[in-house]
Amino acid sequence: MKPTNRQQSRLGKNTWPVVIVAVVMTLLATAMGEVWAQSGQRLSQESHGLKLRIAPRTPDQILAFYTARHLPEVAVKHLVAACLITVSVRNRSQKVVWLEPGRWRFVFDDGQSAERLDRQYWDDLWQQLKVPLGSRATFGWTQLPESRDLQPGEPIGGNMVLKRTDKTFSIEVRMATGKDKKGAEIVLRIPNVKCATDKVSS
Amino acid sequence: MRHRQGVVVKLPVISLVLWFVAVSAVAGGTPPGLMPLDGRMAPALKLADMDGKTTDLAQMRGQWVLVHFWASWCGPCRREMPTLQRMREQIPVTDLAMVLINTAENDEEVFSFMGVVAPNLESLLDTDGQVTAKWRPRGLPSSFLVDPEGRLRYIALGGRQWDSPAYLQFLRHLTLERP
C-alpha cells in the first residue's frame, strides 16, 4: 500500500529533527578533529594528525600467522591463549611523536586495567621454553617496539599482546611529542574493544 | 711572499666552502622517507649467503654501501625488493654496493622468495637474527646508507621506491662524495 501525500509529508516532518541532529553531531565530531569508525573487528581513530587502527585477532588468525612464520608449536600455543591486537599508527602530523606502548592503558568499565604482556614477558617465556633464537627474533619483529620515535609521515605497525579477557575495555593511547618529548602530549581513546574469538559453527 | 701567504690561507677556506656546497646540495635533495643519521660507526656485519660465501662490511670501506634488512613474510619487503633490483640495474656497483640481509629465516625461504621477487639479487642470511638486532633497524624492511668511512649516514623509513627519479638522483649525487 502506497503512502498518501499527507502521510509522505508527515514522514518527512518526523524525519527532519533526526536528520538535523545527525548533521549537527557529524559537524561536531569533525570539528573536534576526531573521526570514529568501526568496521567488523577493526577500530580506528584519527586525531591530532595521527591515524590509529587496531584489530583484535582471533585464535585461528594468531595460529595461522605465527605457524606461517615457523614459530614452534609450544610458543604458538601460548600466543593463541592470549589476546593479540594488531596496531597500526601513521604520523600525519609535522612533529615527532613517540610510540611507547608501555604507557598505554587498557581500562575495563570498572576502572581496573587489563594486563599487557610486554617483550620482557615473552623473552623470559621463550628462554624458559628454549625457543630458537631465529623464532624469537621473528616474533620480536612482529611486535610493536617498546619505544620508538615516529617521524612526520612515518607509519608503523605491529602486534601487542594482552592477557585474554572476556570483558570489554578501552585502549587509552598516550604519546609524547617533539624530539625531546617535551611537546604537548597526545591522548587517543578507543572504547568497546574486545579480545576476538573464533566463530563457532553450528 | 704576501701573495703566496694569501693563497695558502684562501685554499682551505675555498675547499671548505666547496665541501659545504656539495654536502648542502645532497642534504637539500634528500627524498622523503630518508632520514639523516649522526654518522656513528656502523655495527659489525659479517654474514654468509646461501652458497656459504661470506661478506664483511669492514672490507667494503672506500665506497658507499646500502645495507638492507628484510624478511619474506613482510609485505612491504615484497613490494620494495623489486625496486632495489631496478635501482641496482641503474647505479653501478662500483658507485654503490648493496648488501641485503634476510632476518631470521632459512635458506629455503630466502631462495623461494628471491627467485620470484628479485632473481638478480643475492642476500646474506642472518639465521638467528642477532646481527639484525645489533643494527637496531626501525622495523622491517629497513635500509641504511653507510659512507665510505663505514659511518651510518642515512636510514630509510619503511619501504621505499629506490628506482624512483628522486631516489636515483639522490644516490647519484651522494656517491659522488668521496672521503
pLDDT in tens, B130-140: 999 999 999 99
Chain B: residue whose CA lies nearest to A139 = B104
pLDDT > 80? residue B14: no
CA pair distance A89, A154, nearest whole angstrom: 9
The answer to whether position A138 is within a domain reads: yes
Within 10 A of A27 (CB to CB), how many other CB atoms are there?
10
Within 10 A of A139 (CB to CB), how many other CB atoms are there?
23
CB contact at 8 A, B44 and B58:
yes
N- to C-terminal Cα distance for chain B? 32
CA atoms within 13 A on the CB side of A15: 6
The answer to whether position A3 is within a domain reads: no
Chain B: residue whose CA lies nearest to A152 = B33
Give the number of beta-carbon pairs within 8 Å between A and B.
53
Q: Which residues of B touch A154 (CB under 8 A)?
A: 33, 157-158
Say what the pTM is: 0.78
A18 versus B63: which is more confidently predicted?
Answer: B63
CB proximity A1 to B under 8 Å: no
C-alpha closest to that of B154 among B57, B31, B55: B31
Contacts of residue B4, defined as CB under 8 A and 6 or more positions apart, other chains included, come to: none
B11 versus B35: which is more confidently predicted?
Answer: B35
The answer to whether position A121 is within a domain reads: yes
The answer to whether position A172 is within a domain reads: yes
The B-side interface with A (CB below 8 A) comprises 32-33, 35, 71, 73-74, 103-106, 127-130, 132-133, 138-140, 157-158
C-alpha closest to that of B60 among B127, B136, B130, B149: B149
State the CATH number of the domain containing residue A187: 2.60.40.10
Q: Which residues of A touch B33 (CB under 8 A)?
A: 153-154
Phi, psi at A71, each rounded to 5°: -75, 140
B21 versus A43: which is more confidently predicted?
Answer: A43
Chain B: residue whose CA lies nearest to A68 = B73
User: How much is the ipTM here?
Assistant: 0.77
CA pair distance B103, B124, nearest whole angstrom: 9
CA distances from A119 to A72, A195, B53, B69, B128 (A): 18, 19, 34, 21, 18
For chain A, the domain total comes to 1
Nearest to A68 among B33, B73, B127 (CB): B73
Q: What is the mean pLDDT of residues B6-21?
A: 48
Total residue length of chain B: 179
Q: Would you give the distance in Å from CA B163 to the centre of its chain?
A: 14
Nearest to A137 among B32, B33, B104 (CB): B104
B67 versus A35: which is more confidently predicted?
Answer: B67
Q: What is the pLDDT of residue A199?
A: 75
The answer to whether position A202 is within a domain reads: no
Four-point Cα dihedral A67, A69, A72, A78, nearest 10: -70
Q: Is A154 exposed, middle or buried (0-12, 13-18, 19+ CB in 10 A)?
A: buried
B56 versus A4: which is more confidently predicted?
Answer: B56
The answer to whether position A200 is within a domain reads: no
Q: Which residues of A touch B139 (CB under 8 A)?
A: 141, 145, 156, 158
Beta carbons of A153 and B32 less than 8 Å apart: yes
pLDDT > 70? residue B162: yes
Beta carbons of B105 and A134 less than 8 Å apart: yes
The answer to whether position A2 is within a domain reads: no
pLDDT > 50? residue B61: yes
Q: Which residue, among B38, B134, B157, would best test binding to A if mutated, counting the most A CBs under 10 Å from its CB?
A: B157
CA pair distance B160, B30, nearest whole angstrom: 13
Q: What is the pLDDT of residue B166?
A: 96
C-alpha closest to that of B165 among B14, B29, B53: B29
Cell of A73: 608449536
- Confidence label for B51 from pLDDT (cuts 50, 70 and 90): very high
pLDDT tens-digit series, residues B69-88:
999 999 999 999 999 999 99
Q: Which residues of A touch B128 (CB under 8 A)?
A: 132-134, 137
Give residue A36's identity as a one-letter amino acid code.
W
CA pair distance B101, B67, nearest whole angstrom: 8
CB proximity A148 to B under 8 Å: yes
Q: What is the pLDDT of residue A42?
A: 83
Q: What is the pLDDT of residue B176?
A: 83
Q: What is the pLDDT of residue B22?
A: 42
Q: What is the pLDDT of residue B20?
A: 42
The residue written with cell numbers 581513546 in the block is A189
The answer to whether position A40 is within a domain reads: no
Q: Which residues of B touch A145 (CB under 8 A)?
A: 138-139
Mean pLDDT for all residues in chain B:
88
Q: Mind listing the pLDDT tens digit of every residue in chain A (202 residues)? A: 444 444 444 445 555 555 555 555 444 443 333 333 333 468 988 999 999 999 999 999 999 999 999 999 999 999 999 999 999 999 999 999 999 999 999 999 999 999 999 999 999 999 999 999 999 999 999 999 999 999 998 989 999 999 999 999 999 999 999 999 999 999 999 999 999 998 765 4
Q: Could you list the residue range(s) of the whole structural domain that residue A132 is in?
A: 8-35+46-193
% of chain B at pLDDT higher than 70: 83
